[in-house]
Amino acid sequence: MRAYERLLNYVVVRTPSDENCENVPSSQCQFDLAKILVEELKQLGIDNAYVNDKCFVYAKLPATPGYEDKTKLGFIAHMDTVSDFCDHDIVPIVTENYNGEDLVLGTSGRTLAVADFPHLPSLKGRTLITSDGTTILGADNKAGIAEIMTMLERIINENIPHGQISVAFTPDEEIGTGAQSFDVETFDADFGYTLDGDLEGEIQYENFNAYKATFDITGFSVHPGSSKNTMINASLVAMEINSMLPSGETPRGTEDYEGFYHLVSMNGDVCKATLNYIVRDHDASLMNARLNTLRLIEKLMNEKWGEGTVKLEIAEQYRNMAEIVNTCMHLIENAKVACENVGVTPNILPIRGGTDGCQLSFKGLPCPNLGTGGHGYHGPYEHISVEGMDAMTDVAVEIVKLYAK
């Protein structure tokens, strides 16, 4: 079975995680896919596959006899999707021999447009998979799962010599909480790769340092007709706080290694208001400077409006895995060679986000990230090519071969 055929089976199983739930998994629907994957692993002959009570699927392919001393490799992908555009059945659409031009997405009224996605002409002649435009597709990260499964099938069926291969499919990556419950000891790998990136050939080991920041504003409400020098409108204070941040340092205005402040949500009235941000930067010192900017804003607002008006809470989410992977760069060099060996152009670039591998690297499992062949994640314009998925399956198999030498 080819990877895209598996993907078509997986994406119809909806698995949105729930950022408002503190349990792992945050949504019970993730077990629906987990059970399917365990059964499929067992059909491949991996009888030790199982799903635990936190919805982690673990499995091991024992080393080929005589290869027990080789590096134990791990491959990881996540089962959950974002909750946006995932409120009804997902209908994947396969477009063969895509012409590289604007593509109408079903009857949704949406068009996958070259103006928005300039890489589309490079996919001309490929077989493209999209949703019908009313939902996400779910290739993030079910494409990674499909490629890992297909890699295992090829290794088994083609009798490719290998060291021990550990596999895990994880919940709640999209809300950043799943990896906290990942059992590195049970996984039992020396090094790992997540398959959770975009274009085929991507190799990523530098990710954002990530924090979330919340401003809680307490106002003072009196009758507006007699509020001179008395009223403190919490919503207006919230607007003032946001205006003190550099207007260009948002996701829309930044790229590559440039960090940002991102206002995720806001709510409020005269009495109470809340601003929820995520803050990102690859450089740890620049990240500290960003956090100090937020703290300074809190200080200035309380000096202006009265102590206790503004309360800032900052929480770390994950750190830049480069701190760890820099000590084992063979992971990057071998991934690069694997790409070249199968005719894929390697592209080493930073992640403008995070993956499970960020947290796992700091838990003792160095774990860079590989592309899957997809684009436009987290929205109805998500798309992936059959050929890109085949290419990344080839890369994963080649990595296994390299570490078996």
Supply the DSSP symbol for 281: E
Contacts of 217 (CB under 8 A, 6+ apart): 234, 237, 238, 241, 268, 272, 273, 274, 275, 309, 310, 311
Q: Can you tell me the distance from the alpha carbon of 233 to that of 335, in angstroms, rounded to the nearest whole number?
A: 55
Supply the DSSP symbol for 13: S
Give the number of other CB atoms < 10 A from CB of residue 244: 12
Answer for the pair 195, 367: CB distance below 8 angstroms, yes or no: no
Is 80 a catalytic site residue? yes
Q: How many residues does the chain have?
A: 405
Backbone angles phi, psi at 59, to 5 degrees: -160, 155
My answer on whether omega of the bond before 92 falls inside 30° of 0, hence cis, is no
Answer for the pair 160, 152: CB distance below 8 angstroms, yes or no: no
Angle subtended by helix axes 30-43 and 3-11, to nearest 10: 150
Dump the DSSP string for 204-273.
E----EEEEEEEEEE-B---GGG-TTT-B-HHHHHHHHHHTS-TT-SGGG--TT--EEEEEEEEE-SSEE
Answer for the pair 138, 164: CB distance below 8 angstroms, yes or no: no
Catalytic residue from among 140, 153, 172, 173: 173
Long-range contacts of 245-252 (CB under 8 A, 24+ apart): 245/293, 245/297
* Distance from the Cα of residue 342 to its chain's centroid: 25
Is 173 a catalytic site residue? yes
User: What is the radius of gyration, based on Cα positions, of the chain?
Assistant: 23
Catalytic residue from among 40, 80, 249, 356: 80
My answer on whether omega of the bond before 48 falls inside 30° of 0, hence cis, is no
The two three-digit tokens of residue 375, written as one number: 């684009």
Contacts of 158 (CB under 8 A, 6+ apart): none
Contacts of 101 (CB under 8 A, 6+ apart): 114, 120, 121
Cite the active site residues: 80, 173
